[in-house]
Amino acid sequence: MNKVLRPSQDAPPNTTGLASRSDLVVAGLQRAIFEHKIAPGTKLSEDEVGEIFGVSRTIVRSALQALAHSQLVTIEKNRGAFIASPSPREAHEVFEARGLIEPRVATMAAKRMTDEALETLRMHTEEEHAAMHVGDKGKALSLSGGFHLKIADIAGHDVFTGFIHSLISRSSLIIALYWHRADTTCESHSHHALMKAFERRDAAAAEEIMRSHIVDLHSGLNLSSPNNAPLSLADALRP
Amino acid sequence: MNKVLRPSQDAPPNTTGLASRSDLVVAGLQRAIFEHKIAPGTKLSEDEVGEIFGVSRTIVRSALQALAHSQLVTIEKNRGAFIASPSPREAHEVFEARGLIEPRVATMAAKRMTDEALETLRMHTEEEHAAMHVGDKGKALSLSGGFHLKIADIAGHDVFTGFIHSLISRSSLIIALYWHRADTTCESHSHHALMKAFERRDAAAAEEIMRSHIVDLHSGLNLSSPNNAPLSLADALRP
DNA sequence: TGCACAAAAATCGTATACAATCCGTCATTG
DNA sequence: CAATGACGGATTGTATACGATTTTTGTGCA
């Protein structure tokens, strides 16, 4: 169950330089979570995940622990790992935290904004538009989170960026559970408005737009009626 | 090297209910870090740590990965784990983040403050006083961080509390590296002032005191001249 | 039929064996 | 004598074996 797959692509046994094997598993699972391919509560059996990615349980275990630390999976002793399923309260707290941190980061990004960075953001929003147009809701949501992450990267504050990474990951689960609106157009509008502010290097405007954007997201949640849409694991994984 | 030590204290093979073996290692190392028993940059050999705690490398490795995720240790591929050594920039960012988050948490704590919680805080500050009086600088610093953590617990916001845990851990390393002042009396004064505000349930005052307290700490750092005081590992560990 | 209990299967926790990698040392050579 | 390259020891990366715990299944009895 460990020497399956990867027939030839490992000419250099360790790829580029970073990215150990467990990081690849982490990335694969994260991706699936971001795109809502696997639902909260899904069991992640060590053997099963290991077989899918062609690695031993040692690697899988390491990856699951990493994900547990980012609160994306929950590990129950002697019972296994599950995709986390944030409580309504946790959902509320996550967006409260985003409401405090992200506006601050938006101002920092506006102050440090370069033309290149602007161009990157612009391309990102276009991708977002495209995905939404095609109707790929999972990908659109994933990209929407990516927009916030890119802003954090531009701000260049590693500590805040780390927090935002964590918060956005958890937001993905929260949205899977508690988001009912069909349209994500408000999302698109806010992002567009943010772009305008960034183009003008208007830090105050960026901060305010970000704040209200996150309040919007927060109030778009219906914390009393969670969705549920379990899927098969094997189908969900492999990019 | 794995069946050494622990001759009798494991009547129930798994202690209370939680606290797996690797958590104990994490706690032991954290404690040593908080009390400045091990200096930033110290190498943490898997075998060595395993022997000290009487566990196998599997456990140690798991613990080190957990600590790496909290940024307390750095893992370099094929080279090993080291106590993290925050850069001046990172130090600056950590205190900037604390300056944003902790004042907000202080207001939340003030609003939810109960008489019991107040009593707990009071006892904590007395411990702090005692440690400082005896001259146990390591313990005093550790307790000082604990004060901030207790406030976060009282605020009852798990997301913020998690962030603050992380930030305070890293602050401990930062202080070990960049703190030069001998006295920690300003620390004590600020904590006392905070207590007063909490007693009055004065949220606005608590927020403001917390903000200026963190600015104080931040400005007490000398980011251009790091300290260094390496110690032996075996001596530092075991409580 | 339904419940209780026991045996079996599945899954996780931990230790250990082996492979891969890195670092220091020493010999060789220009 | 300095620089370079190869060897050996030490340390980490990964896989796998074994024991412990949980979950499920199957059977007997009320």
Render pLDDT for A51-107 as a digit per residue (tens, 0 to 9): 999 999 999 999 999 999 999 999 999 999 999 999 999 999 999 999 999 999 999
> Quick one: pLDDT at residue B3?
28
- Which bases of chain C come closer than 7 Å to a protein CB? 11-17, 20-23
> Quick one: pLDDT at residue A236?
57
Residue B21 Cβ under 7 A from any strand C atom:
yes
This prediction has a pTM of: 0.89
Q: What is the largest CA-CA distance in chain A?
A: 55
**CB-closest option in A18, A94, A157 to B159:** A94
Minimal CA separation from A200 to chain B, in Å: 26
Interface test with A, best of B159, B161, B174 (most A CBs within 10 A): B159
Which B residues 54-93 have CB within 7 Å of strand D?
57-58, 61, 75, 77-81
**Which residues, including other chains, have CB under 8 Å from residue A81's CB and lie 6 or more apart?**
A43, A44, A46, A64, A67, A68, A73, A74, A75
User: Which chain B residues are within 8 Å of A104, Cβ to Cβ?
Assistant: 100
Find the DSSP H helices in chain A. Answer: 21-34, 46-53, 57-69, 88-112, 115-134, 137-155, 158-178, 185-199, 203-219, 233-236
Q: Give tens-digit pLDDT for B210-220.
A: 999 999 999 99
Q: Which of A122-126, B48-52, B221-225 has the lowest mean pLDDT?
A: B221-225
Q: Answer whether A15's CB lies under 8 Å from A30's CB.
A: no
The protein residue nearest nucleotide D20, judged by CA to C1', is A78
pLDDT top residue among B187 and B44: B44
Q: Give tens-digit pLDDT for A171-230.
A: 999 999 998 876 666 778 899 999 999 999 999 999 999 999 999 999 999 988 777 655
**Phi, psi angles (nearest 5°) of residue A133:** -65, -40
Distance in angstroms (rounded) separating the CA atoms of residues A66 and A60: 10
Task: With cut-offs at 50, 70 and 90, classify the pLDDT of residue A138.
Answer: confident
Q: Retrieve residue B199's tokens.
A: 């007693």
Q: Answer whether A106's CB lies under 8 Å from A201's CB.
A: no
> Quick one: pLDDT at residue B238?
45
User: Which chain B residues are within 8 Å of A69, Cβ to Cβ?
Assistant: 66, 69-70
Distance in angstroms (rounded) separating the CA atoms of residues B227 and B39: 9
- Interface size between A and B, measured as CB pairs under 8 A: 48
Q: Which amino acid is located at B102 in the chain? A: E
Give me the domains of chain A, ranges plus CATH numbers.
Answer: 7-85+229-237 (1.10.10.10), 88-219 (1.20.120.530)
Task: With cut-offs at 50, 70 and 90, classify the pLDDT of residue B23.
Answer: very high
DSSP state for residue A221 in the 8-state scheme: B
Task: With cut-offs at 50, 70 and 90, classify the pLDDT of residue B188.
Answer: confident
Residue A14 has pLDDT above 80, yes or no: no
Distance in angstroms (rounded) separating the CA atoms of residues B61 and B49: 10
Q: Which of A147-161, B18-32, B38-52, B216-230 has the lowest mean pLDDT?
A: B216-230
User: Which chain A residues are within 8 Å of B100, Cβ to Cβ?
Assistant: 100-101, 104
Residue B191 Cβ under 7 A from any strand C atom:
no
CA B79 to C1' C24 (Å) is 14
**Nucleotide nearest residue B78, measured CA to C1':** D12
Q: Give tens-digit pLDDT for B65-118.
A: 999 999 999 999 999 999 999 999 999 999 999 999 999 999 999 999 999 999
